[in-house]
A and B are shown apart, each in its own frame.
Chain A
């Protein structure tokens, strides 16, 4: 990419959505969820993927991007969420990265006892775990969170 000769260089946070090959970068707002969904679908439509598998991936991506936006970046528009889609005939892998402070996945549990059932939140990771074949959550101190989800295309 070449910068224009004249005029100020645009600060990064003015760039709303960046799309390049298999990568997409969005500001931290849930308003961009439909764009992310379109992007993922556009990367998968060339594959011979069953409707059902596509839906599992779409739901899961919406969950982890929601978490990256809300819990990781805390809806801070200056922080970005990166989405990377690697699709092959045998599997689809999506990596979502945020600029938050990470969390301890082992401390997160979705409670399914009758008293907890009417809670409005807390089911995202449970759903992703059941829809995808592999879920890896990587957090490092001061590094944000990176979540990798894989769907095998049997």
Chain B
């Protein structure tokens, strides 16, 4: 997995690319999310468009990011959830926990509603 990030106003957009399977690259995603919280950046969108797949370790990282952000008055939203990830979220019922948007723009805009 490769990870890049950009900011759109006060919203941080994270763009992981590849496979999120645990091991070193999962740590990078986890650390980045927690770095945002340390910097008081509490509005985060994860753009999943370029993620081939993830496993339960990846889901665990998303949950950890979501919980930490919410506990600090922030929110983590998902954008461009692919079919495979959508089905993982359905199997695990996490679909009820995450707010997902069809595009990064929609996700970013939803923060100012």
Interface positions of A (Cβ within 8 A of B): 29-34, 37, 52, 55, 58-59, 62-63, 66, 110, 112, 114, 117-124, 126-127, 130
**B63 in the interface (beta carbon within 8 A):** yes
Contact B92 A127 (CB under 8 A): yes
In chain B, positions 39-85 with a C-beta closer than 8 Å to chain A are 52-57, 59-61, 63-64, 66-67, 84
**B93 in the interface (beta carbon within 8 A):** yes
- Chain A min CB distance to B53 (Å): 5
Residues of A within 8 A of B22 (CB): 30, 33, 62, 66
Residues of B within 8 A of A122 (CB): 56
- Chain A min CB distance to B7 (Å): 26
Find the B residue at minimum CB distance from A30. B23
Question: Can you list 9 pairs linking A and B with CB atoms under 8 Å apart?
Answer: A34-B23, A34-B25, A59-B55, A66-B57, A114-B96, A117-B96, A126-B92, A127-B55, A127-B92
Expressed in whole angstroms, the Cα–Cα distance for A121 and B94 within the complex equals: 12
State the main secondary structure of chain B at its contact with A: helix
State the main secondary structure of chain A at its contact with B: helix
Given known A-B contacts A55-B52, A62-B55, A127-B55, A120 and B23 have beta carbons under 8 A apart: no
Expressed in whole angstroms, the Cα–Cα distance for A16 and B96 within the complex equals: 42
Chain B interface residue count: which class? Answer: 20 to 34
- Chain A min CB distance to B109 (Å): 26
Residues of B within 8 A of A29 (CB): 23
Expressed in whole angstroms, the Cα–Cα distance for A29 and B61 within the complex equals: 18
Expressed in whole angstroms, the Cα–Cα distance for A128 and B56 within the complex equals: 10
- Chain B min CB distance to A102 (Å): 21
- Chain B min CB distance to A71 (Å): 13
Contact B56 A63 (CB under 8 A): yes
Contact B97 A31 (CB under 8 A): no
Contact B60 A121 (CB under 8 A): yes
Find the B residue at minimum CB distance from A56. B84
Contact B24 A37 (CB under 8 A): no
Contact B21 A33 (CB under 8 A): yes
